[in-house]
A and B are shown apart, each in its own frame.
Chain A
Amino acid sequence: MHTLETRVLIIGGGITGTGIARDLSLRGISCIVIEKKDINAGASGSNHGLLHSGARYVLHDAGTATECMEESRILKQVAPQCIEETGGLFVAVKGDDESYIADFPSLCAAAGIAVNPVDTVSALETEPALSGNIIAAYETTDAVVDPFRLSLENISHAIQLGAILICHTRITGFAINKNRIQSVNLLNTRTGETLAVKSDHVVNASGAWAGETAGLAGINLPMVYSKGTLIITHHRIAGRVINRLRPATDGDILVPGGTVSIAGTTSVPINDPGSLHPTAEEVDLIISEASAVVPELKKTTFIRAFSGVRPLIRSQSNFEGRDLSRGYVLLDHARDGIENFVTITGGKLTTYRLMAEKTADLVCSHMNISSSCRTRTSPLPAHDACRWSEPGLSPRYWLKTRKPGDLLLCECEMVPVSAIDCILESMKDQAVPPGLRALGIRSRIGKGPCQGAYCSIRTIAYLYDKRVLKGDQGLVEMIAFLRERWKGMQPVLWGERLMHAELQEAIHCGLFETELQK
């Protein structure tokens, strides 16, 4: 069995794990990130990409609200390439709780969050998609962040500084001796190869699977999960992040992102974070709630839905579902008898940097390293291969830089061959095997209105031409890709989307007989 050595092993390739990898790398501490699927496979890749001003949490969670406010300010400084500073608008409509509306400015002020009242007429002028029934509006500093780009930039920078990323690899066990994890046993789920990592310290940043991971070390960490569903519109509906001005509940956020908008969310307690399917009922609930503020949502076309999971350690809170604290938890497992093991979980995309900082501080103190965090001020370098995940960026880039012979593989989102080449190159550094799903995470392939009907076919053909795919790998990739896309499409299939879905099935099952291939 192959054995690697490093100072810190980080379990989980979401925003927390990649953020910690960069933080440690900037402190000159070597680390390896292992991820059982691919970057942002869990909650980091299935959220609305809202960079919170904090105003949403002023009622129940003032601490998180203040953290969000500070962290979003920092991220706008250090990672502007990942952020669209849209600004936000909190609006109430007729019938909403008037005492909350009245309390909102003082709650925000108490948390140190700047909000600016606007009259409803000018709110409607600047955001014509809003309902004529709005009765109050406040401007906030909410913004939008591309969570894929953020994680990819973090890991790219970490790799540049010497960190190692190993994807499609899960833990099979910890070798524990004398109250310390001596090594971690790993299995590559693609190749079946086993691997061991010896490290001074282990960080559990496996998000919804934090309990499972801790369990492998004999630590009981009961988790509770809440599922949140979101829907993506075919076109961008509002310029700013729209929040309903009421205590947080279902269907009260509309977040723009490039050329689309994302409406959400719902909150349903679940037992298994592994298989999340958005449902038709959840979609209908979001539409019916959110259309009170943005009536157009009743008529607009949705591209797909997706579900994410909000994980939390059970002991952390007496609340359930949406009222669970959005604060993060950093656990030092020395208290459980393992001296070189910590778990970081909970929290928000917005506060990932702070979570990484606190985790790295704790790990360093365990290892008696005196160092200070640099992510607060050090800009996150923009890597060429990381920009293709942003909606609406590819077309602008392609039109500006189009070179003869640079074929478009995706016409909906205008992803050219040169982008795929650039991403394939970066995937070598990330030790990610090339394929349609990995490209889907790193680009807009499969995310446009055709939801991959054509670009998946072109991309696979291209990967064969490059001799990257062999044998029937393309078919395997195609099947997995279509299955994954289907999860998102299925609950929003009506009208035109249903017509496209029928064509897709006619092509892949009717013509190619994909489902019958042996």
Chain B
Amino acid sequence: MKKTADASISNPDIGIYDLAVIGTGMTGMAASLIAADRGLSVVQAGLTGEILFSSGFFDFLAIHPVREKRYWTNPWDAVHALVQDHPDHPYARISAQTMRHAWDVLISFLEREGLPYHREPDENIRMITSQGTIKSTYCLPLTMQPGANGLKQNLPCLIADFHGMREFSAVQIAESLRSQWKGIRTLRVHFPGTDGLTELYPEHMARALELPLNREKLAMLIKPHVKEAKLVGLPAVLGIDKSLQATNDLSEKLGLPVFEIPTIPPSVPGIRLKETFERALPQKGVKQFLQKRVLRASFEPDGLFRLDIGSVSPEHTIKARAVILATGRFFGGGLYAERDGIRETVMGLRVVQPAARSEWHRDDFFDPSGHPINHAGIETDDLFRPLAASGSPAYPNLFAAGSILAHQDWIRSKSGVGLAVCSAAAAVESCIYLREGKR
């Protein structure tokens, strides 16, 4: 069902697509994936994307209400409760069926592309981080899963780290977890082939561990220290393209399960996701303009959007029957905060926001109710169309998805990827629904 852009009759240089996705973060990638699967011709443009800053975890929803820090084992129950309490939350506009479908599409896609994830159907998973904290998430890379298991069962564990890897201390993890995961021992080794190097960078380490020889050397360094341990934890640097093979290979060599521990972003699991999407989406017919931004977007008299895409000046112009805005928040570049107010950067859409800058943030960084600015963003109708000040959709065929949406706090409620993927799926559905309605 691959479909490519129609050639425009009036201007052969301008391709017309069913859908233009602006943004290459998790939301943009999911929107392109789901839309391509549904048979739409898709064009996608964006800068690097926050996907590089992914820890590898896919959160759905773990905390509600944020102020009470209430933890939910079952994310679906959490969603249900959230929607009851906050009917304006984006999740309230998405059916459970759409959500399940979105997750299935994402997880099966990654499985096919060699980046398998693990999830319990209706349960959040608890896993350790490089800070020695415990985090709840919905899906995690299969390469991390034995760690979640080890934590649950309190298995004797060896955590190894490397000279020169400054953000990862096995001792810190063991000490911080002392009361919750007993029996962690630690080991520090020299990363194979890094004599004379001072600072080690996770991406370089991961690429080195793509080579079987380096894994062999690493296994030899660790093996004598395994002793009573039932599993071995390492920072998430076990390969890029074939992380599961690398992890399994190391497990075989050591004779016990090996798992990865997520590290501070930008991290290797983020690179894996980015490279997987960038490799596989074009194969599904998605036309990607990476490292490019949409410099100008205009709604044309023919009801289509015209997008000028380029780095500094326009290099490509395309037209699209619908647009999904998946540009993220401040860090992603979808929103920009001036000293006197917040604006949306691509279309100049209305941004729902606190009345004054003094109300953006709480005095305490860890204020239990979170920062009001995190609820600012784009307000939409039930079809995820941004609303103008009048209360009607700003454009009939413009949709917004992901963290740019108002009335949510993905950070505190632990719902980043869930919000990205589910709202992307909902926006794609709306887009198809409106097209078919018109026919």
Contacts and interface: CB of A to CB of B under 8 A. Distances in A.
Interface of A: 277, 279-281, 284, 287, 404-409, 454, 457-458, 460-462, 464-465, 467, 469-472, 474-475, 478-479, 482-483, 485-487, 490, 493-495, 498-503, 505-507, 509-517
A406 B410 CA distance: 38
B337 interface: yes
Interface string B335-365: 0111100000000000000001110110111
Contact of B411 (A465, A486, A494, A505): A505
A498 B166 contact: no
Given A407-B164, A499-B330, A479 B366 contact: yes
A191 B55 CA distance: 37
Given A280-B357, A464-B175, A503-B53, A516 B167 contact: no
Given A461-B169, A465-B171, A511 B57 contact: yes
Contacts of B331: 499-500, 502-503, 506
Contacts of B198: 404-407
A482 B188 CA distance: 28
A502 B168 CA distance: 22
Contacts of B134: 513, 517
Nearest to A402: B198
- Lowest 3 A-B CB distances belong to which pairs? A486-B365, A461-B169, A464-B172
Given A510-B59, A517-B134, 17 more contacts: A280-B357, A454-B264, A464-B172, A465-B188, A472-B178, A475-B133, A483-B364, A486-B365, A502-B331, A503-B331, A505-B365, A509-B366, A511-B262, A512-B129, A512-B133, A513-B134, A513-B135
Interface in B109-168: 129, 131-136, 164, 166-168
Given A409-B166, A510-B414, A515 B131 contact: no
Interface string B293-316: 000000000000000000000000
Contact of B169 (A462, A487, A510): A462
Nearest to B363: A277
B330 A516 contact: no
A102 B178 CA distance: 70
B274 interface: no
A88 B60 CA distance: 57
Interface of B: 53, 55, 57, 59, 63, 69, 71, 129, 131-136, 164, 166-169, 171-172, 175-176, 178-179, 188, 196, 198-199, 262, 264-265, 329-331, 336-339, 356-358, 360-361, 363-366, 368, 371, 373-374, 410-412, 414, 416
A517 B57 CA distance: 18
A509 B358 contact: no
Contacts of B357: 280, 284, 494
12 contacts: A284-B339, A406-B198, A407-B166, A407-B198, A464-B175, A465-B169, A472-B178, A490-B365, A494-B337, A494-B357, A506-B331, A514-B133
A494 B339 contact: yes
Contact of A493 (B63, B199, B360, B410): B360
A495 to B, nearest CB: 6
Contact of A511 (B129, B169, B366, B373): B129
A489 to B, nearest CB: 8
Contact of B167 (A408, A454, A479, A487): A454
A469 B175 contact: yes
Given A465-B169, A474-B132, A505-B411, A498 B330 contact: yes
B46 to A, nearest CB: 16
A30 B53 CA distance: 55
A198 B363 CA distance: 41
A471 B173 CA distance: 9
B197 to A, nearest CB: 9
Contacts of A502: 329-331
B148 to A, nearest CB: 14
B2 to A, nearest CB: 36
Contact of A516 (B53, B63, B131, B262): B63
Given A498-B330, A506-B53, A513-B133, A490 B175 contact: no
Nearest to B262: A511
A405 B163 CA distance: 9
B169 A495 contact: no
Nearest to B267: A511
B411 A509 contact: yes
Contacts of B373: 498
Contacts of A503: 53, 331
Contacts of B199: 407-408
B337 A483 contact: no
A510 B411 contact: yes
B366 to A, nearest CB: 5
Contact of A482 (B133, B329, B338, B365): B365
A464 B184 CA distance: 15
